[in-house]
Structure 1
Amino acid sequence: MHSSSTSGSRLCLNSLNSLPLKAFVFSTVLIPFHSINASKTTHQYDSVVNSNKLIVVSVADVSTAFKDGQHLHGFGYDLARNYAESINVKLDFKIVPDNATALKMVSKGQANFAMTTSSIQSIEAKHLTSFSASCGDTVSLQKNGLNSNLNWVFKDASDPLSQTASGFICRAKQNGSIGQLASFYNSNVLKQDALNTIQRDLSKRMPIYKASFKKTAQQYNLDWHLLVAIGYQESYLKPDSVSPTGVRGLMMLTNSTAKEMGVSNRTDPAQSIQGGAKYYDQMLARYAHIPMPDRNWYALVAYNMGPGAVSQLQSKIKAQGKNPNKWVNLYAYLDRNKASNGRYRQAVQYVTRIRAYLEHIKTTPQLVNI
């Protein structure tokens, strides 16, 4: 393959993808990476391993990454993070203003690869190489409102870094990770007709409780917009809300949880926000061993189902030989079994909607400036 040929990298990807999974894993994992194209003296892969850092650049986009306070999450970001983890290095993910900047940084060696929706022509014009960030699984991306033209762009197709990355992506397609990540980051969760109602509700109610949300968030070092998103999912920010099962208040606390959190009046908005934030903070602490953003999603599922239920789910995932501390595995289990289990279906809806509400608040000027 030639470094200037995008089609070359795609040919390599297609031929790799045609191999049986076991043979493919053997060829990309068991053969020492330094032996691949050993005639060349320096590889991007070598510098990444030696520095223990993978530098990835991308624009902020619904298909790539969303900045949530100090943390990032998103379909593209999670893929890059999982790839970095697969080669046992740390991810340094940088948000850049546009795709042209991302390509320029790869061309100059300032980034190991870029995640872009740039045209193939503009990639080839920079003498760079690329492959599909979904290994051609355009259906999963399209049906979840994500950009099916998302590519990973490298400087050299013959470098082990781009070769192992293309292998990682196609294994993720084969084992279902691509589809599950796309499902969780579905950009169509909030329908356009519902957005008008959501916008109206938040514009009217956020200012009323802003002081309580901000004060409590600061106390627990949380993002107050995240607390708003939880409150909106729980009660539409209505402090007199009550459910048939007895949960009550703006943050919809059970009677027992309210007592544990020191809440004497669940219908008092300030007390409810305080109790909800304290409980959520306890859930975050419970999953402190899980890195962000996965820890966030685990804590939200635990807030909804209870930590005991999450522990049971983790045991089931572990029994399947999968990592119980990876969000893609927990989400996949919930999503696959939601048709036969109402609690699972509710948990999936709960966490995906809170993510969508948070993103909507953060990207809507009239809401973020309240």
Structure 2
Amino acid sequence: MHSSSTSGSRLCLNSFFSLSLKTLALSTAFIPLHSISASKTAHQFDSVVNSSKLVVVSVANPTTVFQDGQIKHGFGYDLVRNYADSLKVRLEFKTVKDNAAALEMVQQGKANFAMTTASISSIEAKQLTSFSATCGETVSMQKNGLSSDLNWVFKSANDPLSDTASGYICRAKQAGTLQKLASFYNRNVVKQESWDSIQRDLSNRMPIYKASFKSTAQKYDLDWHLLAAIGYQESYLKPNSVSPTGVRGIMMLTNSTAKAMGVSNRTDPAQSIQGGAKYYDQMLSRYAHIPLPDRNWYALVAYNMGPGAVSQIQKRIQSQGKNPNKWVNLYAYLDNNKASNGRYRQAVQYVTRIRAYVEHIKTTPQLVKI
């Protein structure tokens, strides 16, 4: 932990943004739909409301969703989940092997809509309708290494579901939340040349500590890849690491935190990992009232800055009339004020890099085999 504390989280990532249904459902300011079929069909909106369930299908890729077992997160996934939240319905998210399969499910009525990078011609061939999932926010997408060709595809343009969805997207753009979401899921947060060095570090050092990460993670019901990612961000997995502020060890514990976690030797790898995991788990419990995945990000910020600092920021957010328990609001506050506060800048980098490391570890064959 770089400042004064440490935290943890069960990486079961779900939502990022939530906009008011009142402002979205009644909106008429949505971007033009690319309508191919104007024939009357049964409204998907009615189906969603009556079943209290939104079924969305997508292909897993760096822009849409990162998935490992039950773990899901990503720009597209968070956007879809929060649209479902705005409708106050449960999201049923399905991934398929390619865009053709996703479009087929929408055409057959097996999904309410698809999130895809399929070409307009292939969408036309299925007589479906689509609109940009970013309301034309190409600059932020490209800047952060995400595809700007992401579309939401519906069976019919003459359906309130597509209307409310397009309104949701463009209001999210106007509010700046699309830009913040793209920033958080920045694919360029680590430069390619740095990835090469990171790959070497992880390949050489992770095998030494893998057993400790796995056994400790199992004890606290955590993802060991996440613990390893925290350890790498903290110390590059070097047990003798020490910072100018006196934190040390693989998990960079302060002396007081180490004692509270029962760690007598901070430079002992097994003890450090145990102490870091225990504190991380305590942070999860501290933010138990915050739904996943937001809870994960709050816990990581608290690990880095200390829960007291997070509480102060939450009070400031609340004084602005915003929900202090929404990650988008905490992230926006940190990001907007990072130029004038080094701790905020560090926290933003801390969380985004750990997220990127987890994805890298889980999707790199050489590391998966370690």
Q: Note whether the superposition's TM-score is higher than 0.5.
A: yes
What is aligned with 1:364?
Answer: 364
Counterpart CA distance in 1 for 2:305 and 2:90 is: 32
- The TM-score, its normalising length taken from structure 1, stands at 0.89
Counterpart CA distance in 1 for 2:309 and 2:344 is: 10
Map 1:179-258 to 2 at 5 A. 179-258=179-258
What is aligned with 1:16?
Answer: none
Any conservation in 1 of the 2:27–2:164 contact (CA below 8 Å)? Answer: no
Percent identity between the two aligned chains: 79
Any conservation in 2 of the 1:103–1:126 contact (CA below 8 Å)? Answer: yes
Any conservation in 2 of the 1:71–1:293 contact (CA below 8 Å)? Answer: no
Q: Structure 1: which amino acid aligns with 2:324?
A: P
Please list every run of 5 or more consecutive structure 2 residues that lacks an aligned counterpart in the other structure: 1-21, 30-38
Please list every run of 5 or more consecutive structure 1 residues that lacks an aligned counterpart in the other structure: 1-21, 30-38
What is aligned with 1:329?
Answer: 329
1:211 is displaced (CA, Å) by 0.6
1:70 is displaced (CA, Å) by 2.5
Equivalences, count: 340
What is aligned with 1:113?
Answer: 113
What is aligned with 2:172?
Answer: 172
1:307 is displaced (CA, Å) by 0.9
Q: Structure 2: which amino acid aligns with 1:166?
A: S
SS at the partner of 1:54?
strand
What is aligned with 1:97?
Answer: 97
| 1:17-52 Cα deviation digits (max 9, x unpaired) | xxxxx99875469xxxxxxxxx97841111111111
What is aligned with 1:314?
Answer: 314
Any conservation in 2 of the 1:58–1:95 contact (CA below 8 Å)? Answer: yes
Counterpart CA distance in 1 for 2:271 and 2:246 is: 17
1:272 is displaced (CA, Å) by 0.2
User: For residues 119 and 161 of structure 1, do their structure 2 counterparts lie closer, same or farther at Cα, with a shift above 3 Å needed?
Assistant: same
What is aligned with 1:162?
Answer: 162
Any conservation in 2 of the 1:71–1:292 contact (CA below 8 Å)? Answer: no
Considering fraction of residues, name the structure with more helix.
Answer: 1
SS at the partner of 2:343?
helix
Any conservation in 1 of the 2:75–2:182 contact (CA below 8 Å)? Answer: yes
Map 1:72-151 to 2 at 5 A. 72-151=72-151
Any conservation in 1 of the 2:74–2:185 contact (CA below 8 Å)? Answer: yes
Counterpart CA distance in 1 for 2:69 and 2:259 is: 30
User: For residues 24 and 115 of structure 1, do their structure 2 counterparts lie closer, same or farther at Cα, with a shift above 3 Å needed?
Assistant: closer
1:310 is displaced (CA, Å) by 1.0
1:249 is displaced (CA, Å) by 0.3
| Greater RCO (CA < 8 Å, at least 6 residues apart) | 2
Deviates more, 1:239-248 or 1:69-78: 69-78
Any conservation in 1 of the 2:129–2:153 contact (CA below 8 Å)? Answer: yes
What is aligned with 2:338?
Answer: 338
1:71 is displaced (CA, Å) by 2.2
2:283 counterpart of 1:268: no
Counterpart CA distance in 1 for 2:144 and 2:318 is: 28
- The TM-score, its normalising length taken from structure 2, stands at 0.89
1:252 is displaced (CA, Å) by 0.1
What is aligned with 2:281?
Answer: 281
What is aligned with 2:349?
Answer: 349
2:255 counterpart of 1:292: no
